[in-house]
């Protein structure tokens, strides 16, 4: 009977591990989606900062001042 009990325990552990792996897979999928959203947001912010830098440089050139140094990154 002990062998049967060990087999049932092992099957339970396998099922529990499979359930945890499925949950982990779902979390990884959500995290990948979140990363895509962050990447898009970062690209949009970079574009906005670039436009603002252009406006500032244009205004500085129009007023005869030297353009401020750019922050490259």
- CA of residue 25 relative to chain centroid, distance: 16
pTM value > 0.75: no
Distance CA 53, CA 67 (A): 10
Per-residue pLDDT tens over the stretch 22-62: 999 999 999 999 999 999 999 999 999 999 999 998 888 88
- Look at residue 68 in the predicted model and tell me its pLDDT: 60
- Look at residue 72 in the predicted model and tell me its pLDDT: 76
Q: Does position 71 have pLDDT exceeding 80, yes or no?
A: no
- Look at residue 69 in the predicted model and tell me its pLDDT: 66
* Angle formed at CA 57 by CA 51 and CA 63, multiple of 5 degrees: 140
């Amino acid at each position: 009977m002990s062998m049967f009990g060990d087999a049932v325990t092992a099957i339970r552990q396998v099922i529990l591990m499979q359930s945890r792996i499925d949950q982990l897979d779902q979390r990884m999928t959500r995290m990948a989606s979140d990363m895509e959203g962050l990447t898009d947001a970062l690209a949009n912010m970079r574009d906005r900062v670039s436009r603002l830098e252009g406006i500032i440089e244009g205004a500085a050139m129009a007023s005869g001042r030297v353009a401020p140094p750019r922050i490259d990154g």
